[in-house]
């Protein structure tokens, strides 16, 4: 099953999830609706574990690969919270919450990671374990720090955490990878530089 073709099949669902989340923005740790939606989807996808309440309103899903020879545990992370900004876009899926808007792309981040989780849970065509991490309070609330303080990294023995950030203006289909920190607040999780790859930024 080619990855490209399967994600093309998921495109409409991912778009619908993103627009639903966009229409119902939640600030900082108040991501109750979004967190519940994420947990519901992860369970429906067949994740091996779905845990709510990590870092107050964070959600974690665990997906085991077909093999575990490597013993690696890789985290994939997305943020869920919106900004306290009134929306004036006029789009049909605009915010229904006064004074709040997904103006920083976290609705897209959450929807994309849900799509990745569905694909990984369906195929399990990898060696090791994937932990999908949905973080609240990225916008100044220290949600990543709270998830780490709740023992997330140690509980599943996560070796590293990777994420991606929407970047308006980049050509469609272009993905510029970086091996160092980017679009993050370095050290905000209270960890020394040598462990930053094992932290959840901000």
Fold observed for domain 3-166: Aminopeptidase (3.40.630)
Q: Rounded CA gap, 68 and 126, in Å?
A: 8
**Beta bridge partner(s), residue 75:** 131, 161
Interval 94-113 mean pLDDT? 97
Q: What percent of the chain has pLDDT over 70?
A: 86
**Distance (Å, whole) CA 16 – CA 101:** 17
**Confidence grade of residue 182 (pLDDT, cut at 50, 70, 90):** low
pLDDT tens-digit series, residues 48-60: 999 999 999 999 9
Mean pLDDT over 148-170 rounds to 92
pLDDT of residue 183: 52
| Contact predicate 28/139, CB 8 Å | yes
Give all strands of the β-sheet with 73-79 in edge-to-edge order.
49-54, 58-64, 129-135, 73-79, 160-163
Structural domain boundaries in the chain: 3-166
């Amino acid at each position: 099953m080619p990855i490209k073709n399967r994600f093309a099949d998921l495109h409409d669902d991912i778009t619908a999830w993103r627009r639903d989340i966009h229409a119902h923005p939640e600030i900082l740790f108040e991501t109750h609706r979004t967190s519940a939606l994420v947990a519901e989807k992860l369970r429906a996808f067949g994740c091996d574990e779905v845990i709510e309440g990590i870092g107050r309103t964070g959600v974690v899903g665990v997906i085991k690969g077909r093999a575990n020879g490597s013993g690696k545990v890789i985290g994939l992370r997305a943020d869920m919270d919106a900004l306290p900004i009134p929306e004036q876009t006029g789009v049909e899926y605009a915010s229904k919450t006064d004074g709040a808007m997904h103006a920083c792309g976290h609705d897209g981040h959450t929807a994309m990671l849900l799509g990745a989780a569905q694909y990984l849970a369906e195929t399990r065509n990898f060696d090791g374990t994937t932990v999908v991490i949905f973080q609240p309070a990225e916008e100044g609330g220290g949600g990543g720090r709270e998830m780490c303080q709740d023992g997330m990294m140690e509980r599943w023995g996560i070796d590293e955490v990777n994420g991606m950030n929407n970047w308006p203006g980049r050509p469609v289909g272009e993905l510029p990878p970086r091996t160092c920190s980017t679009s993050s607040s370095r050290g905000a999780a209270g960890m020394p530089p040598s462990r930053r790859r094992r932290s959840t930024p901000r």
